[in-house]
Structure 1
């Protein structure tokens, strides 16, 4: 605990350091940590308990997002794409955040998402058919990434199939670059790669806005391009870019992480897997436990807009404050036996989608994707056996398996249920 270095990406690549965070929750639930060099004269408050994380998220006028949602401060760059990043939904505060979120909420509400189930199930069947035929494969590439990339980028947002690999690369790159501190062995390469990618992503977003305003299609980007404010004014290009950045960068990574992490958890807990296959009605609660267990987003950062006392600590205006969701999801005061993977866990108030005003806009869609995919896996009686070592991302921001060699077998007699 005393030696915890939040910027040791190799440590995170071995799995989230739950033992160290267990000690922090017990002894120093809100602790001060130095930033990575060359900014080690500065620091941040690390909130590790569920109740403190929820308090930060609820107090969105005190703990603001505009200075950055990761530990690196948002910096101005000489390119119009800078505004697209700075004004992404996850970086906006009240009242602008609430105004833009309210406009798009219907597109991700219960009714709209429910209409996608048939399409999502067709994608799940297609992806599983292809993977199952291979017998041995990298589960991350063939299922965990392939499935949400096709659902979100192609079916929901309307990207052309030829653009899917590029879009997935953008999402992965910009989520990884958040975690790489100056001085890390990957820093120079990541900065160079992200600069090139940002230019291309910005041009793609502008083209998407203009083409869909001129000739709308049957996709969410067309709906966003045609949205009008309450006064009848059409949405501006800049506001469209705000949506586009958040949707494109947050589109698949966390869902992919939960799929791979959930399958790995079932493989590591065969008694839970057997229980799930014997009783498919547990799929929804199993998905919630996978989200808690894996915690695909490790943290989000806020900045104090005023002095505030949090958990007995005096937070000063301008201080960085980190909500560590992965720690909050193992809080002993909230979850009974939090280090046990239990697909029947109830209640399960996990923080995998955040909390408060910035609660994940795509949570319903992600839950539907996960439920449908695992329904199809269970219906086929698929068993995934590890066929090699698991690799994880070098990131303190995204908790994601990046490679998972598996061999798959089907036991059709296990489950004959048909999902409508």
Structure 2
């Protein structure tokens, strides 16, 4: 297969790395073109190392299940331009990573570090927290009701409900939640002019050393306190963790706190907002839910598929191989386009539609294989509980203005969602 045949047209290659395209919807036009015309092609966007692009559900699954062949740690697991990669390596003494979290690790480290907290996120443990989470959900519904029938659902509900849950699990006091929310938005929204830290906006959406420094300073104090006074929370688990009989390094502990604290609420916030957006645009789907509340788990999965908060991850080929009928060399970089896989016409009937009764719903939003999202059960439980509390009371729902998505290639979702509603 010649390079020309594999090459993705430049306009589509540039769209893949343009944060604005993920906000205005152009990315889905590019995904649809790629699935139809070049489902496993190579992109050569200006300023970036060339990379392969997997847009089909089957290819994304195949790459995700081969964790020894397609690595997370050799290069950045999130897309960065060449200049940003160079600056990060200069700052870190050669490493492509400003953090070392589970998403930056391969075996054997990945499973060792995953096991440290895995039990906290298993269904049998989460069931013990259901009533605590339901209390937070009820408070969120009451707060929504108190707005008088009009609110920005993202800013007034979706951002705060999962944040309260994960901070309670971690052991972060409520008064510190606004700081955690601000830092998370600055980290994931580094390419968005409205969300980025003003003194260090980064169009590539990755180089945020000031934000990471602030996270480190906060979690250093929390970690020291939990080593001295361990409690029944996730921060105590991380602060006192050991690998192979030795305490984990401060850098890895701080990285662990950051991934749990940010990914633990931001993606759930996005899917929660996506659910209300989908229901507001499709009143018949809300009617289905009110007539049959057993469809609520279907709403959860469909909102996760439809929104797909984690849009992309990168992998690096550990050796020469073939994928999608094309030859890859050792060291080649690959982009997994989850939001494209989740709208693959060969897997999903009418994939652009929002359907709460979609069955089956084999979405890829949590990833697959060894890197399957650690918090998937918590995310689905949080959303289920919120909808169990809200849907029976929600009498009407419509958009009250133009929603907007955040500008980001890695993690994005609704950032404003004005709605008008009535509640019983």
Aligned residue in 1 for 2:28: 18
* Distance in 2 (alpha carbons) for counterparts of 1:125 and 1:44: 46
* Distance in 1 (alpha carbons) for counterparts of 2:39 and 2:207: 37
Output one character per residue of 1:333-354: Cα deviation in whole Å (capped at 9) or x when no partner. Answer: 2112222222111111101111
Output one character per residue of 1:25-59: Cα deviation in whole Å (capped at 9) or x when no partner. Answer: 1211011112343x4xx311110001110111111
> What is the CA-CA distance between 1:228 and the residue it aligns to?
4.4
Aligned residue in 2 for 1:334: 347
Q: Which runs of 5+ in 1 are unaligned?
A: 413-420
Aligned residue in 2 for 1:278: 291
Match of 1:104 among 99, 109, 117: 117
TM-score after normalising by structure 1 = 0.89
TM-score after normalising by structure 2 = 0.88
Aligned residue in 1 for 2:72: 65
Q: For the structure 1 residues 187 and 34, does the alpha-carbon distance in structure 2 shift closer, same or farther, using more than 3 Å as the test?
A: farther
Q: For the structure 1 residues 12 and 280, does the alpha-carbon distance in structure 2 shift closer, same or farther, using more than 3 Å as the test?
A: same
Report if the CA contact (8 A) 2:281-2:398 is conserved. no
Output one character per residue of 1:192-235: Cα deviation in whole Å (capped at 9) or x when no partner. Answer: 99332221111112222211010013321112223445x65554
* Distance in 1 (alpha carbons) for counterparts of 2:242 and 2:207: 36
Superposition CA RMSD, Å: 2.5
Q: For the structure 1 residues 171 and 227, does the alpha-carbon distance in structure 2 shift closer, same or farther, using more than 3 Å as the test?
A: same
Report if the CA contact (8 A) 2:20-2:407 is conserved. yes
Q: For the structure 1 residues 24 and 300, does the alpha-carbon distance in structure 2 shift closer, same or farther, using more than 3 Å as the test?
A: same
> What is the CA-CA distance between 1:95 and the residue it aligns to?
0.5
Match of 1:171 among 179, 184, 199: 184
Aligned residue in 2 for 1:129: 142
Is 2:166 the counterpart of 1:146?
no
* Distance in 1 (alpha carbons) for counterparts of 2:45 and 2:220: 35
> What is the CA-CA distance between 1:292 and the residue it aligns to?
0.8
Aligned residue in 1 for 2:4: none
Q: Which runs of 5+ in 2 are unaligned?
A: 1-7
> What is the CA-CA distance between 1:258 and the residue it aligns to?
0.5
Output one character per residue of 1:261-307: Cα deviation in whole Å (capped at 9) or x when no partner. Answer: 11110111111110011100000011111111111111111111211
Aligned residue in 2 for 1:219: 233
Output one character per residue of 1:73-129: Cα deviation in whole Å (capped at 9) or x when no partner. Answer: 48335479x898432111011110011112221111111111111111111111111
Match of 1:190 among 201, 206, 211: 201
Report if the CA contact (8 A) 1:85-1:245 is conserved. no
* Distance in 2 (alpha carbons) for counterparts of 1:187 and 1:44: 30
Q: For the structure 1 residues 256 and 180, does the alpha-carbon distance in structure 2 shift closer, same or farther, using more than 3 Å as the test?
A: closer
SS at match of 2:52: strand
SS at match of 2:77: coil
* Distance in 1 (alpha carbons) for counterparts of 2:143 and 2:103: 35
Is 2:301 the counterpart of 1:291?
no
**Mean Cα displacement is larger for which, 215-224 or 310-319?**
215-224
> What is the CA-CA distance between 1:383 and the residue it aligns to?
3.1
Aligned residue in 2 for 1:27: 37
Aligned residue in 2 for 1:209: 223
Aligned residue in 2 for 1:409: 422
Q: For the structure 1 residues 382 and 125, does the alpha-carbon distance in structure 2 shift closer, same or farther, using more than 3 Å as the test?
A: farther
> What is the CA-CA distance between 1:14 and the residue it aligns to?
1.2
Report if the CA contact (8 A) 1:209-1:237 is conserved. no
* Distance in 2 (alpha carbons) for counterparts of 1:325 and 1:187: 30
Report if the CA contact (8 A) 2:166-2:265 is conserved. yes
Output one character per residue of 1:363-394: Cα deviation in whole Å (capped at 9) or x when no partner. Answer: 01100111011111112125332111111111
Report if the CA contact (8 A) 2:16-2:27 is conserved. no
Aligned residue in 2 for 1:417: none
* Distance in 2 (alpha carbons) for counterparts of 1:148 and 1:344: 24
Report if the CA contact (8 A) 1:7-1:36 is conserved. no
Report if the CA contact (8 A) 1:84-1:241 is conserved. no
